[in-house]
Structures are given as structure tokens and as C-alpha cells.
Amino acid sequence: MRILVVEDHQVLADRIGEGLRDQGHAVDVVYDGAAALEVTAYTSYDVIVLDRDLPGVHGDQVCSELVRRDSNARILMLTAAGGVEDKVEGLDLGADDYLAKPFSFAELAARLRALGRRAPSSPPLLSRGDLSLDPARRLATRGARPLLLTRKEFGVLECLMSADGAVVSAEELLERVWDLNIDPFSNTVSVTVARLRRKLGDPAVIQTVVGSGYRI
């Protein structure tokens, strides 16, 4: 999944980001509401972790603006106010889930996985020919053979299979599988695709479309 973390407590935000990256997600982290509105204007996310009590542009305003834009991202709102009325208010603003601080990372990660399964860009099961991929369980197989993929290889395969035969550019793969810190001029995508091809075996299923990208 592509996830945005919006949290003004930088240590907490960075720890959430690191933990989610360790689970194989592409994660961007920003520390205020204005930055959240800016980055969501040009980047699509599956799920947004949104602190409610943000300085400057309040989390409520960010949530309302995302809803107004018809964003496909699912929103999990974080807040120190965990009363029933607070939760109802947050959900009425358009949030899809609500988690009170302090929270366990395991619960946060589980809720994000559940929201990701509901996101329009995250089908529960993908298949192309003899390839099968289960995003929720992080499992991929070809025929009866399980594929031992790295997190980035899995992410690339998920993007290509989700495209249902359409061409996916290297730039789109960078956006969906990596994060804003990746060098856009690196050969990371081509190297990852080459490793993925070797693991998928013959006959080859990933086609390079010169000047455009890749497709299955």
C-alpha cells in the first residue's frame, strides 16, 4: 500500500513510518496539515494516517478537504481525545476509522491493513494467467510454486497485476512502491524488475514497452 502519515510529533511520525516500511509499505511522512494538503494534491494514497490535533491547518480541515476532493484514500484519524463523542465527530467528518492515543503499533498496522483491503486500488486477490497474488496476506504464487519476493518486488508485481494488462511507467512504479525520498533518476525500478523476472521464471510474463514502461 501507499500510505501517508500526517503527525506533528516528529519522533512518533518517523517511528510509525519506519514500522510500516518494515512491513513492506511505501510510506511518506509529513508533519503538518498544510503539507498534507499539498502532497495529496499530486500523490494518490491508499490510506492516510491523520493526526487530528495538527497545528496550523487542523486535522479536521484536512479530512474535510480530502472528502471534498473525492479522494479515494481511506482515512484513519489519530487523536488524544478518545471519547465516544470525539470518535463520532471524527467519523462524521469523513474519516473511515478512528484510533485514540496512546495506541499499539500492532493495532494501528492491523487497522491499516483492513482499510487497505477496502481501498479501490487494493483488490483482495489478483490473478493473471498462472500468477496469483494476495495483497492482504502478502503471498504470491506461480502455478503451484510460491514466490519468495522482497517487499519491493512484491509491490512491483502487485502494481503490474493491478493494471490488468495496461502499461505501467517506471515513474508510476516509483510513486506506488517507493516513497518521496527515492531518487527519480536512479535505476532502482529496472533492477527490481530484472530480479522479479528471474524469480517468476519462464515463460516470461513481464514485457518491457520501450519508452513507456512495463506490463504483464
Model pTM?
Answer: 0.62
Given a cut of 80, whether residue 109 has pLDDT beyond it is yes
What is the overall mean pLDDT for the chain? 85
For domain 2-118, give the fold.
Rossmann fold (3.40.50)
Inter-axis angle of helices 84-93 and 59-68, to 10 degrees? Answer: 30
Give domain 126-215's CATH number out of 1.20.1600.10, 3.40.50.10490, 3.20.20.10, 1.10.10.10.
Answer: 1.10.10.10
Bridge partners of residue 78, in order along the sequence: 51, 99
So where are the chain's domains? 2-118, 126-215
Quick one: cell of 115?
482499510
Q: Given pLDDT bands bounded at 50, 70 and 90, which one contains residue 83?
A: low
pLDDT 10s digits, 159-198: 899 888 899 998 888 878 876 666 666 788 889 999 999 9
Which tens digit of pLDDT belongs to each residue from 192-215? Answer: 999 999 999 989 899 999 888 999
Point out the least confidently predicted range of 65-74, 77-86, 154-163, 178-187: 178-187
Return the ∠ at Cα 147 (arms to 172 and 117), rounded to 5°: 55
